[in-house]
């Protein structure tokens, strides 16, 4: 792959790991630089037995497991489920990120994702990054449908890193999709579509060859 700088846009902490954690692990192994931005640490929806800022701690651990440098992790504090009220602020932040990082490729939720916060990141992400390649990642429990028109091959070690990274989210434990079985099965399914053991799939939102 010819691109060098990758930017992952996660509406909430852990969306990036679910959607493209294996690919992130692969890119870092290939010495590409990866930046990860989460727009909310969802303080309003943390279970009562955890500190409200627990997701800040967990996303730092999870992204470090994937190999993302501390200085490449950025966290915003938008209120969870209320992104539609902050569209312009979110766009402004994205334009600043584009100017600062100058990524070659951006990963973000797909255009078929139904979560209101994810939709804002995809819509405003398109406005901010439309001059470069954009791939929409797969969040099956949110998606109405999914166009599997791009794939990234993964090896066992990439999938292992994705699983280890997601294990850092102890405050989110118990969700049906946050299991090793689910994540592995999805990687096997996507791999079977292209004749490899594991893969992650993406919707091509924009493909720009420079």
Q: By CB under 5 A, name the binding residues for Zn ion.
A: 11-12, 15
* Residue 7 contacts residue 37 (beta carbons within 8 Å): yes
Q: Which residue is nearest to Zn ion (CB)?
A: 12
CB count within 10 Å of CB 51 equals 11
* Closest approach of Zn ion to the CB of residue 201, in Å: 18
* Alpha helix stretches (DSSP H) within the chain: 15-29, 54-66, 87-101, 116-129, 156-166, 180-193
* Closest approach of Zn ion to the CB of residue 15, in Å: 4
Q: Can you give the three-state secondary structure of 99-135, one letter per residue?
A: HHHCCCEEEEECCCECCHHHHHHHHHHHHHHCCCEEE
- Cα four-point dihedral sign 181, 121, 123, 136: negative
Nearest to 166 by CA among 50, 44, 24, 7: 24
Q: Measured between alpha carbons, how far is residue 133 from residues 18, 53, 66, 107, 201 in Å?
A: 20, 33, 22, 9, 15
Q: Which is nearer to Zn ion, 20 or 104 (CB)?
A: 20
Q: Which is nearer to Zn ion, 155 or 167 (CB)?
A: 167
* Closest approach of Zn ion to the CB of residue 178, in Å: 12
Q: Which is nearer to Zn ion, 11 or 103 (CB)?
A: 11
Q: Which is nearer to Zn ion, 106 or 191 (CB)?
A: 106
* Closest approach of Zn ion to the CB of residue 12, in Å: 4
Q: Which is nearer to Zn ion, 12 or 158 (CB)?
A: 12
* Closest approach of Zn ion to the CB of residue 160, in Å: 23
């Amino acid at each position: 792959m010819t691109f060098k700088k990758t930017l992952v846009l996660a509406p909430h902490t852990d969306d990036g790991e679910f959607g493209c954690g294996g690919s992130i692990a692969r890119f870092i192994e290939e010495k590409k630089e990866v930046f990860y931005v989460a727009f909310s640490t969802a303080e309003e929806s943390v279970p009562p037995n955890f500190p409200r800022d627990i997701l800040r701690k967990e996303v730092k651990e999870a992204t470090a497991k994937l190999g993302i440098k501390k200085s490449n992790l950025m966290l915003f504090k938008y209120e969870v489920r209320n992104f539609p009220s902050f569209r312009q602020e979110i766009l402004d932040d994205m334009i600043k990120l584009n100017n600062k990082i100058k990524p070659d490729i951006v990963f973000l939720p797909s255009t078929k994702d139904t979560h209101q916060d994810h939709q804002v990141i995809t819509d405003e992400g398109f406005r901010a990054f439309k001059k470069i390649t954009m791939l929409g990642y797969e969040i099956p429990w949110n998606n109405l449908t999914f166009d599997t028109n791009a794939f990234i091959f993964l090896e066992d070690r990439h999938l292992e890193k994705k699983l280890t990274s997601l294990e850092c989210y102890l405050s989110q434990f118990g969700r049906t999709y946050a299991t090793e079985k689910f994540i592995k099965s999805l990687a096997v399914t996507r791999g079977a579509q292209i004749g490899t053991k594991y893969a992650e799939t993406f919707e091509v939102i924009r493909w720009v060859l420079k």
